Amino acid sequence: MWLYLAAVLVGLFLLRRWHRERQMVPGLSEKYVLITGCDSGFGHLLAQQLDARGLRVLAACLTEAGAARLRAATSPRLQTLLLDVTSSQSIATAAAWVRERVGDQGLWGLVNNAGIAIPIAPNEWLTKDDFVRVLDVNLVGLIEVTLSLLPLVRRARGRVVNVASILGRISCFGGGYCISKFGVEAFSDSLRLEMHNFGVKVSIIEPGYFKTMITNVENLEKSFISTWEKLPEEMKASYGENYLKKFSVALRNIQKKYSSNLRLVTDCMEHALTSCHPRTRYSAGWDAKLLYIPLSYLPSALTDVVLTWSYPRPARDA
């Protein structure tokens, strides 16, 4: 009897959740959304997706070539701007540009999507500048863009959607990428609490492994080899040439697990912007749901066993 009652309660909960999540925000055609990192990948696809839904998309690209490609694939309603999220001057200029366009109605949505991954390598191989390069884009740039546009979002009682990663829950490799995504999670959580009474909703997108420009294995491998070549000979001897080869093999094995269906991620972003009741977190991809999220809740000792199982061993296992 208790089992049946539990099943009924779970069913009712899921039915209520399904009903709430199908309720869409009215008047989407009048709402402005700014997306960063629209040259390629998730941002490029999301801009097309929201444009097709009739929203007024303001697409921030790093290059004019990326902006031109996007304009060619969308309606005249979509507008592009150039934005370097590591430049305070560029962010200030973009904020003024957005303010002119949205006017008194404010900015309904801000999607912080811009990000880089390289360099990725064992932490010992990297310098402070290697970490700063990634953190400036993925975390510090995201924070500065948000702070510059938050008054406009607050005016519209709108949405902030921050792209983190499943690696913002569990760190699998060295470099600034995982650190930056942990930071995005923390910043988003604090912002969500602060904005609650203003009617602003903050959502976090946590993709698993997807095939995008920043996860291009060839680029990651080149960066890894370039970092290796700069190491002192003593450190190279400690790790060994075989470590380098096995790490390259591991990268290529990961490539086989990448999903090319970017809609799994952009659909989450779209829902966060258009649903009356967006989720706090969206996990995109079966690897995120079935592997990395469960791993993140396990005791660290068990997680370490799983993650180090496929790690290459250094020559001097001291």
In a domain, 267, yes or no: yes
In a domain, 225, yes or no: no
Q: What is the pLDDT of residues 46-77, one digit of tens each?
A: 999 999 999 999 999 999 999 999 999 999 99
Q: Which amino acid is at 169?
A: R
Looking at residue 236, what is its pLDDT?
86
> β-strand 109-112 against 56-61: which pairing, if any?
unpaired
Q: Across the chain, what does the average pLDDT equal?
A: 89
Number of folded domains that form the chain: 1
Looking at residue 227, what is its pLDDT?
87
In a domain, 288, yes or no: yes
Pick the closest to residue 199 from 236, 166, 252, 158 (CA basis).
Answer: 158
In a domain, 125, yes or no: yes
What phi and psi, each to the nearest 5 degrees, are found at residue 33?
-130, 130
Q: Of 239 and 35, which is predicted with more confidence? A: 35
The vertex-97 CA angle with 140 and 44, nearest 5°, equals 65
What average pLDDT does this structure show over 91-100?
97
Measured distance CA(293)–CA(117) in Å, rounded: 21
In a domain, 19, yes or no: no
In a domain, 282, yes or no: yes
177 is catalytic: yes
- Note down the domain range covering 115: 27-211+259-308
In a domain, 87, yes or no: yes
Please tell me whether residue 38 adopts helix, strand or coil conformation: coil
CATH number of domain containing 149: 3.40.50.720
In the predicted model, is pLDDT for residue 43 greater than 90? yes
Looking at residue 247, what is its pLDDT?
76
Measured distance CA(242)–CA(121) in Å, rounded: 15
In a domain, 313, yes or no: no
What are the Cα distances from residue 170, in Å, to 103, 273, 283, 301? 41, 26, 13, 13
In the predicted model, is pLDDT for residue 209 greater than 80? yes
Looking at residue 21, what is its pLDDT?
66
Measured distance CA(310)–CA(22) in Å, rounded: 41
- Of the candidates 4, 32, 177, 258, the residue annotated as catalytic is 177
Q: What is the pLDDT of residues 223-278, one digit of tens each?
A: 888 888 888 988 888 888 888 777 777 777 666 667 788 999 999 999 999 999 99
Pick the closest to residue 33 from 279, 284, 269, 204 (CA basis).
Answer: 269
